[in-house]
Structure 1
Amino acid sequence: MKKHILVISQYFFPEQFRINDMCEEWVNRGYKVTVVTGIPNYPKGKFYEGYGVLKKTRENYKGIDIIRLPIVPRGNNSIMLILNYLSFVVSGFFWKVFTKVKADQVFIFEVSPMTQALPGVWYAKKNKISCFLYVQDLWPENVEIITGIKNKAIIGVIGKMVDYIYKNCTKIFTTSQSFKKSINERQVPIEKIEYWPQYAEEFYQPLKKTGTDETADDIFNIVFAGNIGNAQGLDILPRTAKILKSRMNEKQVRFNIIGEGRYKNTLINTVDKYDVSNMFNFIDKQPAEKIPEFMAKNDAAFICLTDSPLFKMTIPAKLQSYMACGISIVASAGGETSNVIEEANAGLTAPPGDEEKLAEAILIMLTKPKNEVRELGKNAKKYSDSHFNKKVLMDQMEIHFENCEESEGIYNV
Structure 2
Amino acid sequence: MKKKKKHILVVCQYFYPEQFRINDICLRLVERGHKVTVLTGIPNYPSGSYYDGYHFFSGNEEYNGVKIIRLPLLPRGKNKFSMVLNYLSFVVSGYFWTKLTRLKSDAVFIYQLSPVTQALPGIWYGNKNKIPKILYVMDLWPESMEVVGGIRNRQVIQYINKIVDYIYHNSENILTSSRSFMQKIQQRGIKQDKLVFWPQYAEDYYSPVSTRKDNEIVVGNGLNITFAGNIGEAQGLGILPKAAIELKNLGVPVIFNIIGEGRYKSTLIQEIERLEVEEYFNFIGQRKPEEIPYYFANSDASLIILAQNELFDMTIPAKLQSTMACGIPIIASLNGEAAQIIKESQAGLVSEAGDVRGLIDNILEFSKLNSENKESFTLNALNYSEIHFNRECLLDELEILIARELDS
Same fold (TM > 0.5): yes
- Which residue of 2 is the match for residue 408 of structure 1? none
Query: Structure 1 residue 173 and structure 2 residue 175: aligned?
Result: yes
Q: How far off its partner does 1:77 sit? A: 1.7
Q: How far off its partner does 1:266 sit? A: 1.9
Query: Structure 1 residue 224 and structure 2 residue 243: aligned?
Result: no
- Which residue of 2 is the match for residue 36 of structure 1? 39
- Which residue of 2 is the match for residue 394 of structure 1? 395
One-letter code of the match for 2:172? T
Query: Structure 1 residue 97 and structure 2 residue 99: aligned?
Result: yes
SS of 2:148's partner is: helix
SS of 1:6's partner is: strand
Query: Structure 1 residue 126 and structure 2 residue 140: aligned?
Result: no
- Which residue of 2 is the match for residue 311 of structure 1? 312
- Which residue of 2 is the match for residue 140 of structure 1? 142
Q: How far off its partner does 1:386 sit? A: 0.7
- Which residue of 2 is the match for residue 77 of structure 1? 79
**Do 1:53 and 1:70's aligned partners in 2 also have CA atoms closer than 8 Å?**
yes
- Which residue of 1 is the match for residue 201 of structure 2? 199
Inter-partner Cα distance in structure 2 for 1:83 and 1:232: 25
Inter-partner Cα distance in structure 1 for 2:338 and 2:115: 22
Q: How far off its partner does 1:119 sit? A: 0.4
- Which residue of 2 is the match for residue 340 of structure 1? 341
Q: How far off its partner does 1:209 sit? A: 5.4
Q: How far off its partner does 1:312 sit? A: 0.6
Q: Which moved more, 1:146-155 or 1:378-387?
A: 146-155
- Which residue of 1 is the match for residue 283 of structure 2? 282
Q: Which moved more, 1:157-166 or 1:261-270?
A: 261-270
What pairs up with 1:153-168 in 2 under 5 angstroms? 153-168=155-170
Q: How far off its partner does 1:139 sit? A: 0.8
What RMSD over aligned residues (CA atoms) do the two structures have, in Å?
Answer: 1.3
Q: How far off its partner does 1:159 sit? A: 0.8
What pairs up with 1:296-375 in 2 under 5 angstroms? 296-375=297-376
**Do 1:172 and 1:193's aligned partners in 2 also have CA atoms closer than 8 Å?**
yes
Q: How far off its partner does 1:211 sit? A: 6.2
Structure 2 residue runs of 5 or longer lacking an equivalent are none
SS of 2:261's partner is: coil
One-letter code of the match for 1:94? F
- Give 1:239's match in structure 2, choosing from 218, 238, 242: 242
Inter-partner Cα distance in structure 2 for 1:71 and 1:189: 35
Q: How far off its partner does 1:371 sit? A: 2.7
SS of 1:404's partner is: helix
- Which residue of 2 is the match for residue 10 of structure 1? 13
**Do 1:209 and 1:297's aligned partners in 2 also have CA atoms closer than 8 Å?**
no
One-letter code of the match for 2:314? M
Name the TM-score, length of structure 1 as normaliser: 0.95
Inter-partner Cα distance in structure 2 for 1:190 and 1:326: 34
Q: Which moved more, 1:314-323 or 1:270-279?
A: 270-279
Q: How far off its partner does 1:215 sit? A: 2.0
**Do 2:219 and 2:299's aligned partners in 1 also have CA atoms closer than 8 Å?**
no
What pairs up with 1:107-122 in 2 under 5 angstroms? 107-122=109-124
Inter-partner Cα distance in structure 2 for 1:230 and 1:46: 21
Inter-partner Cα distance in structure 1 for 2:306 and 2:219: 29
Query: Structure 1 residue 54 and structure 2 residue 57: aligned?
Result: yes
SS of 1:116's partner is: helix
**Do 1:345 and 1:379's aligned partners in 2 also have CA atoms closer than 8 Å?**
yes
SS of 2:162's partner is: helix
Q: How far off its partner does 1:116 sit? A: 0.2
Inter-partner Cα distance in structure 1 for 2:238 and 2:213: 27
Inter-partner Cα distance in structure 2 for 1:85 and 1:371: 49
- Which residue of 2 is the match for residue 265 of structure 1? 266
**Do 2:56 and 2:74's aligned partners in 1 also have CA atoms closer than 8 Å?**
no
How many residue pairs match? The answer is: 404
One-letter code of the match for 2:222? I
Name the TM-score, length of structure 2 as normaliser: 0.97
- Give 2:23's match in structure 1, choosing from 14, 20, 39: 20
Inter-partner Cα distance in structure 2 for 1:94 and 1:279: 52
Inter-partner Cα distance in structure 2 for 1:244 and 1:303: 19
